[in-house]
Structure 1
Amino acid sequence: MANKALKNTAPSDPKDKQNDKQIVRDYFNSTGFDRWRRIYGEGEVNRVQRDIRTGHQQTVDYVLSWFKNDQNAVEQTVCDAGCGTGSLSIPLAAMGAKVYASDISEKMVGEGKANAVNPENPIFEVNDLAKLSGEYDTVICLDVLIHYPDRESEQMIAHLASLAKSRLILSFAPKNPYYVLMKKVGDMVPGPSKATRAYLHKEADVRRVLKELGFKIKRQEFTATSFYFSRLLEAVRN
């Protein structure tokens, strides 16, 4: 949900950061679920939601193209951490990957199960990213790090990396002067979307963490529409 960097406020009190997880869970199990189900779906949406849908789908398509180009989806184990309604998990499973899809929102997971053609693949489960376990050929986390402040995002990247046997794919909202300004402007615009906090991350910091964890960047892409911006990195073990 990289676009929420435009319109959501960050906490002024560091103690508030402890509430981020519960805020996100509550949001995506209530008003946020209806909003994002429309965005991830194919029905009628407003101009802003259509723009976000286009941006998110472009990020998903980049990931799918990497699997197609490598011709290695069949039988590969994949963890889709923060799967939403299954916009990535379901097509990956159709390509032959064995997908474990998790999300903190029970409603999102329920929608993913309803959208899936094969009830056995992907395997959808309600789970907190910090509690994910197991070992997978590829771990993917798209548009989720925006919910984590810097220190917590680095810890989360390290945790996800510990689950990945060979590859970790991440997307995040990059922090630079232009997007910081856009976020400040968005913060001044009232609206119901201001339900979760949003955090931008310096690309250099994300790359540093991946390097320290023993990964190198193999491929990268960038998506920018009017209301959605996201840096996508594919990191492989050295």
Structure 2
Amino acid sequence: MINVTYERRRGELETYFDRTAAQAWARLTSDAPVSRIRATVRAGRDEMRATLLGWLPQDLSGCRLLDAGCGTGAVAVEAARRGAEVVAVDLAGSLLDLARTRIPEALAHRVSFIAGDMLDPTFGHFDHVVAMDSLIHYPAREMVEAIAVLAARTSTSMVVTFAPRTPALSMMHATGRLFPRGDRAPAIEPVGPGQLHRRLDSALGDAGWARQRTRRIASGFYTSQALEMVRR
């Protein structure tokens, strides 16, 4: 059961991404020129996306994949290109509208873009889950609870990201408050990797899940850590 903290933060994120920052994110995820700050974020996100996709099978034919927090759909498009049936979910309807315009026509039938909560049980079961920078806004407890909900409906693997708690990242967050509001990322919750790993092992170990690869990506004002979990 997800608690009220998750629900409250979910509402804040919906407001931010669907209204306040919709145009900024549309630009960030395009090839349009951006500020130097946003350019570092774009580069980091591109590298992170490539990492998560690299941990998925090249052939996803016959697989059902959840893109949890899909944004403008870059992960969903690549998964569909590999043959997956993709459920791409995001809180921000405006970003989903943009995603629908960006997907190649030949792949559109493989992707369902849905505005809603990534944890909605009506989406059914999946072979793989990708959650790129969609859980970084929640404290460790709520993050692990969300992953556990997804794990119960996933058969093979989950690749997720979290914001690692480091002195450099904490300093960057404090410095970021000095920049114009339009260049600020939404609030994230840095998590100690050791603490997160212990919580995940405790919550999912008995269910047959094990942590595998992890990789930290730091690019200017973007720092995020990828984590792969597989069902044994």
User: Is the shorter-chain TM-score for this pair beyond 0.5, marking a shared fold?
Assistant: yes
CA distance in 2, matches of 1:170, 1:195: 19
TM-score (norm 2): 0.87
Q: Is the 8 A contact 1:73 1:97 kept in 2?
A: yes
CA 101–56 in structure 1, closer or farther in 2 if over 3 Å, else same: same
List per-residue Cα deviations over 1:87-120 (Å, max 9, x = no partner): 1110110111111100011111111111112321
State the partner residue of 1:224.
Answer: 218
Q: Is the 8 A contact 2:59 2:82 kept in 1?
A: no
Residue identity over aligned pairs, in percent, reads: 28
The alignment's C-alpha RMSD in Å is 2.0
Greater relative CO (CA pairs within 8 A, separation 6+): 1
Kindly state the Cα deviation for residue 72 of structure 1 after the two structures are TM-superposed. Answer: 3.5
Letter in 2 for 1:110: D
- After superposition, where does 1:50-89 map in structure 2 within 5 Å? 50-67=39-56, 70-89=57-76
Q: Is the 8 A contact 1:20 1:196 kept in 2?
A: no
Aligned length: 222
| 1:148 and 2:138 correspond | yes
CA distance in 1, matches of 2:59, 2:7: 39
Equivalent residue in structure 2 for 1:22, among 8, 11, 33: 11
Unaligned ranges ≥5, structure 2: none
CA distance in 1, matches of 2:6, 2:83: 39
Mean CA deviation greater in 27-36 or 195-204: 195-204
Kindly state the Cα deviation for residue 186 of structure 1 after the two structures are TM-superposed. Answer: 2.1
Kindly state the Cα deviation for residue 176 of structure 1 after the two structures are TM-superposed. Answer: 2.2
List per-residue Cα deviations over 1:127-158 (Å, max 9, x = no partner): 11232441101111010112212322221121
Tell me the SS of whatever aligns to 2:217: strand
Unaligned ranges ≥5, structure 1: 1-14
TM-score (norm 1): 0.85
